[in-house]
Amino acid sequence: MMLDALKGLSGLFEPTSVREILEAAACRKVSRLMVEQRKLLQFESLARKLGVSWVYSEKPMVPIFDPNKGNHSSTMRVADECESGSFLVYIASTAAEAKQARLLDESSRSDEFGRVLGIPECCRSFYCGLKARKEIRYRDPFVKVLELAEDGLMFDYRLNFGSFYFGVSLLSFVPCSLRCSAAHSKVEGTLNFLVGIDRPFADLFVGYHKKSLLFSEAGGVALVDFEPPIRLHSPLRVALEHDVIATGKLRDLLVGTCEIGMTSKNVVVLYRDGGAERETMSSTYLCLFE
Ligand SMILES: [Zn+2]
């Protein structure tokens, strides 16, 4: 049943959204997604088969893409009349929960909405604190998480939120730190859930999470194939001065004999000597170097 749904949904949504719907169907969480208007009927048919309830936002929305994040969108606006747009859809195991989620979101009750979405308390209060102090730069709380992390910090791949920008993430929220144990156990639960449905699908997520994360204020975020252990290569205080974000071994590799390429999913791939075909670098989503 879940496997059939997974196959159907994979034709409509990116993996993070497919995971969200499956988790909502399994009563693991409430989810909020964007569904393009042309996909609504297909979505509804699959949602009915899964037995989930859903409620749409009143008006269609248009995502505002951020060129510094591989065209990831952190914000949205209401669609003009001539635009088709996408509906926000709140998905839950019961209609009451879906309606409640929409109500909390629309009334900007961030903490309560976060609780309904299954976000740990520490991560919710981190977000709400940043919001209250107006410290969310680039409309993205993860920037602060990176700022607070130490240069070269080792962290568990499960908390690599960089995967979220590329649509293949086990995380549904920004963790309060790269060491948050509550977020870590959430991800662990999610991963076990996916493994129980389809191992290759679960492995796809792990593969994204295990990529190295690059972040620069000017160049945006990138995921780079790099052998674990994963490291954080984003000392923003350096990035602010020199716009250099890769450090240590990875930096040496990038400026040395390796080439950087991209795939169609905006994933930056590092090709070693004589690697497969290369594609042109683009500064819209690649980090910039000295
Ligand atoms: Zn946390």
Q: Distance, CA 221 to ligand 1 centroid (Å)?
A: 22
What number is the average pLDDT over the span 118-146? Answer: 89
Sheet bearing 232-233, strands edge to edge: 232-233, 212-216, 220-224, 268-271, 259-262
Residue 264, pLDDT > 60, answer no
* 60-73: pLDDT as tens digits: 999 887 655 555 67
Cα of 184 to ligand 1 centre, how many Å? 8
Beta-carbon contacts of residue 235 (< 8 Å; ≥ 6 apart): 151, 152, 245, 247
DSSP state of 165: G
* Tokens found for residue 66: 């951020």
Assign 3-class secondary structure to 102-156.
HHHHHCCCHHHHHHHCCCCHHHHHHHHHHHHCCCCHHHCCHHHHHHHCCCCCECC
Q: Is the pLDDT of residue 148 over 60?
A: yes
How far is ligand 1, taken at its centre, from the CA of residue 117, in Å? 14
pLDDT reported for residue 150: 59
Instruction: Tell me the CA–centroid distance for residue 46 and ligand 1, in Å.
Output: 33
User: Can you give the pLDDT at residue 247?
Assistant: 35
d(CA 27, CA 254): 44
**Between 214 and 75, where is the model more confident?**
75
3-state secondary structure of 185: helix
* Interval between CA 148 and ligand 1 midpoint (Å): 13
Q: Give the model confidence (pLDDT) of 185-204 as tens digits.
A: 999 999 999 999 999 999 99
pLDDT by residue (tens digit) across 150-167? 554 567 888 888 888 878
Average pLDDT over residues 256-273: 41
pLDDT single digits (tens) 84-124:
899 999 999 999 999 999 999 999 999 999 999 999 999 99
Distance 142 CA to ligand 1 centre (A): 12
Strand-strand pairing, 212-216 and 232-233: parallel
181 alpha carbon – ligand 1 mean position (Å): 7
Q: Give the mean model confidence (pLDDT) for residues 7-16.
A: 92
How much distance in Å is there from the Cα of 189 to the middle of ligand 1? 15
Token readout for 140 is: 């993205």
User: What is the Å distance from ligand 1's center to 141 Cα?
Assistant: 12
Looking at residue 85, the DSSP 8-state letter turns out to be: -
Using the mean position of ligand 1's atoms as its centre, give its distance from the Cα of residue 173 in Å: 10
> Beta strand 86-92 with 53-56: parallel, antiparallel or unpaired?
antiparallel
Measured between alpha carbons, how far is 29 from 16 in angstroms, rounded to an integer? 14
Q: How far apart are CA 207 and CA 204, in angstroms?
A: 5
- Give distance in angstroms: CA of 127 to centre of ligand 1: 10
Query: What's the CA-to-centroid distance between 245 and ligand 1, angstroms?
Result: 25
